[in-house]
Amino acid sequence: MNHDTKGTIKRAERFQVILIGEGILVGAIAGLVVLLYRIVLEYAGQWTQKILAFAKGNLMWMAGWFLILILLACVVARLLKYESMISGSGIPQLEGEMAGKLNQVWWKVLPAKFLGGFLCMLGGLALGREGPSIQLGAMAGKGISQGLDRGKTEEKFLLTCGASAGLSAAFHAPLAGVMFSLEEVHKNFSVSVLVSVMSASLTADFLSSTVLGADSVFQFDILNALPMKYYWMIVLLGVVLGIMGAFYNWFTLKAQECYQKATFLSPTMKIVIPFLCAGVLGFTAPKLLGSGHALIEELTHTEMMLGTILLLLLGRFLFSAISFGSGAPGGIFFPLLVIGGFIGGAFASVGVQFFGLDSMYINNFVLLAMAGYFSAIVRAPLTGIILIFEMTGSLSQMLSLAIVSIVAYVVATLLKSKPIYESLLDRLLAKQGVEVPKEHGQKILTNYVIHQGAKVEGTLICDTEWPDNCLLVAIQRGAEEIIPRGQTMLLAGDILVTMTDERDMPVVHEKMQRLCSEMVKTDERK
């Protein structure tokens, strides 16, 4: 393709139409890749259950299964060594590439992620298919972009299209695919990207529906919308989810740290740990294995005791952290929805026992908690609302979904919990040697008096070398308050009002003292 000025301008005249066509193309190819990935993972889960049922009770066969798990872990470790970008869900890697800080090799990531995800699911790890599906879709988009010789700007559009197609095909949720790719990946709602992303998402969903059917991911038995008299419980649930979401982010990052600090363990052994845990759970608590879809189905279709819900919640929470913290290829997208559903189930059970909640509304709270928990952890409330709506096919809960998502979002924000994918990206960039901006603290206003003979006396603001991360807010000159400008001359007796971050305060304070102190200029004259 001609990338000179003339070619670029000519192409810009029909850019939107071109993007629609390319979006359909990306949606078709990415949809096929993710559809195949989804089918393969379904078979992996079925094979695991059959193997466990066959081996259970026979010590020789059980030992053989553990040997197979170790072998699977070794293969996954070799794949991670071959291509490190397949670690985890793949969403932070995609966000890093969109920000221009990472560059994934699509022809390496695609097969390695595909095979790695399959082996992890075969081993029974508590990882999801959705994050990997987004990365696989995005890499398909990148491959098409490079195959068609598109520029970097257009490549980012196609990456976004691929991500949308990946989520759409994985969840049978085209609107959620569009919203997530715009809200979390592209972070832009321009008309050009919206139309192309919709084209990709709908194409992928059409392919997925044609092969696997148009049924929603979850078949929830929600008979009625939640009455207004229970809305106070929705607000309370949102608070609980916000706190639990912040704790989830902290715990997940701590699990990663524990693996990283365990320097006595080789990279292969770190992958072996969750596989061995899966082996133990496979013969003691097989419900905890895999993505957790069957757990949600059981929770919503049977009357589960509160103690059982709490036990499964704890087990699922810990095993998910162990699986993801190891760096194995697999996501937290679906597992966190499962954990959120169980939090909602536990909350509703308490409500039934102590607050007079009608038991027919337990599934309502399971549904609400999935959306709220997602919003607290990922900080993409619109995606959470639309995703749960599409996954369940329930229109009656939109108001309550919005309320619980907003409350959970606000609580998590007030607790200063960063979005999980942002935190994971920072960890990844630091590991890759890319400089990561430090977290900001509170902003502090400080006054400094310019003494006679100070370094800044008689100088213009534009000619002064101010400390980094320091903003000159105002100048107080007697009763007058002056708005600082580049050509403003600083005089003795002026009071400088500065603003800086609390983390930079010590360094800024020292430099400002040197600039405003009489001693500085006196010492320089000697």
Residue range 356-397, pLDDT digits in tens: 888 888 888 999 999 999 999 998 888 888 888 777 666 677
3-state secondary structure of 480: strand
Find out whether 22 and 158 touch, Cβ atoms under 8 Å: yes
Find out whether 422 and 252 touch, Cβ atoms under 8 Å: no
Cβ atoms < 10 Å from Cβ of 171: 25
Find out whether 31 and 210 touch, Cβ atoms under 8 Å: no
Region 425-450: mean pLDDT is: 75
Find the distance separating the first CA and the last CA of the chain, reported in whole Å: 65
Residue 193, φ and ψ in degrees, nearest 5? -70, -35
d(CA 22, CA 447): 57
Q: Please give the pLDDT value at position 1.
A: 55
d(CA 296, CA 462): 62
pLDDT tops 90 at residue 226: no
Instruction: State the residue for tokens 């972009």.
Output: 145
Cβ atoms < 10 Å from Cβ of 402: 17
Q: How confident is the model at residue 349 (pLDDT cuts 50, 70, 90)?
A: very high
User: Cα-atom radius of gyration of the chain, to the nearest Å?
Assistant: 27
Find out whether 293 and 391 touch, Cβ atoms under 8 Å: no
3-state secondary structure of 414: helix
Q: Please give the pLDDT value at position 523.
A: 43
Dig out the tokens for 70 from the structure: 């170790």
From 307, 356, 316, select the one nearest 336 (Cα to Cα).
316
Q: Please give the pLDDT value at position 223.
A: 65
Which residues of 429-511 form beta strands (DSSP E)? 443-449, 470-477, 480-482, 495-501
Q: Please give the pLDDT value at position 486.
A: 86
Q: Which residue type does 63 have?
A: A
pLDDT tops 60 at residue 452: yes
Question: Tell me: the pLDDT tens digits for 282-322?
Answer: 999 999 998 888 888 888 888 888 999 999 999 999 999 99
Burial label, 275 (beta-carbon count in 10 A; 0-12, 13-18, 19+): buried
480 φ/ψ sector (left φ>0, alpha ψ -120 to 50, else beta): beta
For the chain, domains (ranges, CATH) are 5-212 (1.10.3080.10), 228-266+275-431 (1.10.3080.10), 443-525 (3.30.70.1450)
Dig out the tokens for 506 from the structure: 């010590």
pLDDT tops 50 at residue 81: yes
Q: Please give the pLDDT value at position 16.
A: 72
Task: Give ∠ CA 124-125-128 in degrees, rounded to 5.
Answer: 110
Question: Tell me: the pLDDT tens digits for 327-340?
Answer: 999 988 889 999 99
d(CA 209, CA 216): 10
d(CA 402, CA 419): 19
Find out whether 456 and 285 touch, Cβ atoms under 8 Å: no
Confidence (pTM): 0.82
Region 179-198: mean pLDDT is: 81
Give the C-alpha distances (Å, rounded to integers) separating 302 from 248, 295, 299, 354.
27, 11, 6, 20
Find out whether 316 and 339 touch, Cβ atoms under 8 Å: yes
Dig out the tokens for 243 from the structure: 């706190």
Q: How confident is the model at residue 232 (pLDDT cuts 50, 70, 90)?
A: very high
Find out whether 428 and 93 touch, Cβ atoms under 8 Å: yes
3-state secondary structure of 117: helix
Which residues of 250-328 form beta strands (DSSP E)? none
Residue 499, φ and ψ in degrees, nearest 5? -125, 135
Q: Please give the pLDDT value at position 520.
A: 40
From 360, 371, 344, select the one nearest 224 (Cα to Cα).
360
pLDDT tops 90 at residue 83: yes
Q: Please give the pLDDT value at position 446.
A: 82
d(CA 273, CA 326): 8
Find out whether 427 and 89 touch, Cβ atoms under 8 Å: no
d(CA 176, CA 165): 10
Helices (runs of H) and strands (runs of E) counted in the chain = 20, 4
Q: How confident is the model at residue 451 (pLDDT cuts 50, 70, 90)?
A: confident
Pairing between β-strand 443-449 and β-strand 470-477 as defined by DSSP bridges: unpaired
Find out whether 167 and 130 touch, Cβ atoms under 8 Å: yes
Burial label, 413 (beta-carbon count in 10 A; 0-12, 13-18, 19+): middle
Dig out the tokens for 454 from the structure: 């100070």
Q: Please give the pLDDT value at position 361.
A: 87
Which residues is 496 bridged to in the sheet?
A: 448, 475
From 133, 339, 328, 342, select the one nearest 248 (Cα to Cα).
339
pLDDT tops 50 at residue 189: yes
